[in-house]
Structure 1
């Protein structure tokens, strides 16, 4: 396991998050620049460092945007 990553944390690539949310990777990048969308983790200090998403954060993002009363 990578140092600093808690047990049970599942990191997702941008392409996987984009597919799950039914948006383009470009949209995810724009959301990051606008500080919107699911929270992300940047794996380095350079501009080209890879970005990953914690699956729990993506799920939380979806829950915060869920609308309606649901089924009783």
Structure 2
């Protein structure tokens, strides 16, 4: 009988650093986008800025040109 089942959960909410890596941009760029409201949607959980992974990917797809 297994005492502790291990469940691995992929995070739905990403940090600024994780989004910067995902999009290949500096964290400062994300900060600028938040100020100008031109980047991916974000939310504030307490004092923490988080990004919904699905929102970030959807936003990135909307940026396609050509």
Q: Into which bin does the TM-score normalised by the smaller protein fall?
A: 0.7 to 0.9
Alignment of 1:2-21 (within 5 A): 10-21=12-23
The structure in which a higher percent of residues are helix is 2
Unpaired segments ≥5 residues, structure 1: 1-8
Task: Report the alpha carbon displacement of residue 36 of structure 1 after superposing the two structures with TM.
Answer: 1.1
Unpaired segments ≥5 residues, structure 2: 1-10
TM-score, normalization: structure 1?
0.71
Partner of 2:50: 52
Match of 1:24 among 20, 26, 38: 26
Secondary structure of the residue aligned to 2:40 is coil
Partner of 1:67: 65
Secondary structure of the residue aligned to 1:38 is coil
Say which one has the larger Rg: 2
1:17-64 alpha-carbon deviations (Å, 9 max, x no partner): 0011111111101100111110001112xxxx1100000100111110
